[in-house]
Structure 1
Amino acid sequence: MHTWDKWGLFIDNWFMSLTMIFGSFVAGISSEGGGAIAYPVMTLMFKITPDVARNFSLAIQSIGMTAASLWIFAKRIPVERTYLLLSGLGGLLGVIAGTIWIAPIVPPAYAKMMFVSFWLSFGIALFVINHIRKRDTRSSLPVLSGYQKTELVLVGLLGGVLSAVFGNGIDICTFSFVTMKYSLSEKIATPTSVVLMTTNAIVGTLMHGFVVADMQVEAINYWLVCIPFVILGAPLGANVLGKINRISIAVMLYLIIIAQFVAALFIIQPSGMLMIVSMLTFLTGIAIFFFLTSSHEKLRREIIVDE
């Protein structure tokens, strides 16, 4: 900032610094990366175009999520390695393919509403299994068959595509899968998802910076004024993550998801076809997530019988 005489950027872009003080903390403490705060705030509140918001989200997470991941490893916060490796492989393929072929063709308003509608359905499903069904959790995945390993790779692939379109997605996408189907504890799934989003963010940033070469000056300016805050905020969130229980993590996730959806409704005010698409996305999410919870119950009974 000193060498390029960029200190004046803080005067014009202070609102992004303020946004990411909160966003980076959320990135470190939850399965919703900083982009989950940045993308809706930028596109809904500040009317920044989705492509700029996406590129900024990836770029800032390449800093903040990396800092959080280093903290997670330094403090030996547990991660699930099978989940990390298999979903990470799919995620890398997804973010590369999504950046080149899918992100350029998604209409902005549809992207915003589909994003918040799908994760609202996940929040409802997670609430049901935590507070109504009162599920048991486990600290690691069971021994997986070849088919189940392929599932994890494909879920990672989908999450990578979501990251390419929205600036984040592989974290919450894979988190939802392993917590729903295998009842992996939020305390294990959350730090694992943070590390996954780190790899997606770094690859996505490099893709936009050097391959498709569409990293906007506006996105770079936002990035510069946020780096000092996320490099501290994300590890702080990761530190708190290691000290709170899984239900507290889940409750915070519910609140973030609901806030995103309500803000989108008030600002976009969807109607007609957009409302129909949003409802279909929500209902599809409900069907997927409750199918996963049913699959988990069947899998749990099989494991008990085997043991």
Structure 2
Amino acid sequence: MAVSFLSSLTSRRPFLYFVLPVAGVYVVWLSYMQFTGQWGLFNDNWFMSLTMIFGSFIAGISSEGGGAIAYPVMTLVFNITPEVARNFSLAIQSIGMTAATLWIIAKRISLERTYLLLSGAGGLFGVVGGTLWVAPLVPAAYAKMMFVSFWLSFGIALFVINHVRKRDTRQQLPRLSACQKSELVLVGVLGGVLSAIFGNGIDICTFSFVTMKYGLSEKVATPTSVVLMTSNAVVGSLMHGFLIADMQPEAINYWLVCIPFVVLGAPLGANLLDKINRLSIAVMLYAIIIAQFIAALFIIRPAGSLMMVSVLTFCAGIIIFFFLTSLHREEVV
């Protein structure tokens, strides 16, 4: 896979759209690390480099951005605060998923433009508003369990419609009414708010909507969601870095030791995305969602009100996602 990936870089378009920007990132990163003597960061933070080698690949190949790996691993396994995990997730995705987006553009991988533009516009409002007014109000433990519980319900719903109902899929959205376009914008706003809280969310949120309601194929919805998460990550990381100025030193250190891995890992995932079928993409998504949920149960051990919130979140997700699938079935009939 890596050999075919590298050999495909020889054409003009990948060179202009991908190789030059990635080479620029390496030059800047190497220069900074050398002149500031930061190589010792790898001694203390190597576990994040290892995490994001895997996480960046998942970011490129699925609708779960790299933050979907980084956030739960950091908060659940390494007991890093949700605020640091969120800021790191946004910052590292602004590098890795931008590289994946450049690869998607260079290789002309299919995108759904209506979905991209409408949800992208809503997502920008959502991530800005969520960063300023929503994220500071969400308790850490509740944020973790709501995150994994909601997406567990989506994983179950996606499995049912793919393997039980055997849904029909389409390569692009149908002609949308003004009301349906507004829905896509609002889902983008919600996804942007989730990105502001967890460091990712617009990708899986909008992906779930267009695949459930409209039957959009995972092979088209996934790269489109990657591009959407890129926009949220760039805006979110800039806000935390310069506007709010609360980017923690720990998040910056984690970011520095992961840059050289994600800038190639995410495009590798995007490259494979164009070569596998949609059900293989879905199976990988099920595995990630289930692993996140099981890890949260063992590490957080929710009880009382936290368990109740988790159950209610899961049930709400089931209702929402199966309602969306019923809308798609009515449209097909």
- The gaps in structure 2 that reach 5 residues or longer are 1-32
Could you tell me how far apart the structure 2 residues matched to 1:89 and 1:3 are?
39
Report the equivalent of 1:114.
Answer: 146
Could you tell me how far apart the structure 2 residues matched to 1:191 and 1:132 are?
25
Identity %: 80
Report the equivalent of 2:332.
Answer: 300
**Structure 1 residue 178 and structure 2 residue 210: aligned?**
yes
Deviations 1:60-89 (A, max 9, x none): 000000000000010000000000000000
Deviations 1:143-175 (A, max 9, x none): 000000000000000000000000000000000
**Structure 1 residue 269 and structure 2 residue 319: aligned?**
no
Could you tell me how far apart the structure 2 residues matched to 1:220 and 1:212 are?
15
Match for residue 85 of structure 2 among 50, 53, 74: 53
May I ask how many residue pairs the two structures share in their alignment? Answer: 301
Q: TM-score, normalised to structure 2's length?
A: 0.90
**Structure 1 residue 153 and structure 2 residue 190: aligned?**
no
Instruction: Quote how far apart the aligned CAs of 1:103 are.
Output: 0.3
* Root mean square deviation of aligned Cα: 0.4
Report the equivalent of 1:66.
Answer: 98
Report the equivalent of 1:33.
Answer: 65
Q: Which amino acid aligns with 2:267?
A: P
Instruction: Quote how far apart the aligned CAs of 1:212 are.
Output: 1.0
**Structure 1 residue 209 and structure 2 residue 234: aligned?**
no
Deviations 1:220-246 (A, max 9, x none): 000000000000100000000000000
Could you tell me how far apart the structure 1 residues matched to 2:314 and 2:331 are?
26
Could you tell me how far apart the structure 1 residues matched to 2:35 and 2:285 are?
40
The 5-angstrom pairing of residues 97-246 of structure 1 reads 97-246=129-278
Instruction: Quote how far apart the aligned CAs of 1:282 are.
Output: 0.0
Q: Which amino acid aligns with 1:89?
A: A
Deviations 1:22-65 (A, max 9, x none): 00000000000000000000000000000000000000000000
Instruction: Quote how far apart the aligned CAs of 1:3 are.
Output: 1.2
Could you tell me how far apart the structure 1 residues matched to 2:226 and 2:265 are?
14
Instruction: Quote how far apart the aligned CAs of 1:108 are.
Output: 0.1
Q: Which amino acid aligns with 1:148?
A: Q
Q: Which amino acid aligns with 2:262?
A: V
The worse-fitting range, judged by mean Cα deviation, of 187-196 and 204-213 is: 204-213
Q: Which amino acid aligns with 2:148?
A: V
Report the equivalent of 1:258.
Answer: 290
SS of the residue aligned with 1:47? coil
Could you tell me how far apart the structure 2 residues matched to 1:26 and 1:33 are?
7
Instruction: Quote how far apart the aligned CAs of 1:299 are.
Output: 1.8
Deviations 1:200-235 (A, max 9, x none): 000000110111110000000000000000001000
Q: Which amino acid aligns with 1:58?
A: L
Could you tell me how far apart the structure 2 residues matched to 1:292 and 1:213 are?
39
Could you tell me how far apart the structure 1 residues matched to 2:89 and 2:238 are?
13
Instruction: Quote how far apart the aligned CAs of 1:121 are.
Output: 0.0
Could you tell me how far apart the structure 2 residues matched to 1:166 and 1:155 are?
16
Moved over 2 A (4+): none
Match for residue 278 of structure 1 among 307, 310, 315: 310
Could you tell me how far apart the structure 1 residues matched to 2:210 and 2:252 are?
34
Could you tell me how far apart the structure 2 residues matched to 1:80 and 1:3 are?
43
Could you tell me how far apart the structure 2 residues matched to 1:196 and 1:151 are?
16
Report the equivalent of 2:42.
Answer: 10
Report the equivalent of 1:305.
Answer: none
Could you tell me how far apart the structure 2 residues matched to 1:299 and 1:246 are?
21
SS of the residue aligned with 1:6? coil
Match for residue 247 of structure 1 among 279, 298, 311: 279
Instruction: Quote how far apart the aligned CAs of 1:300 are.
Output: 2.0
Q: Which amino acid aligns with 1:198?
A: T
Instruction: Quote how far apart the aligned CAs of 1:298 are.
Output: 1.3
Q: Which amino acid aligns with 2:244?
A: V
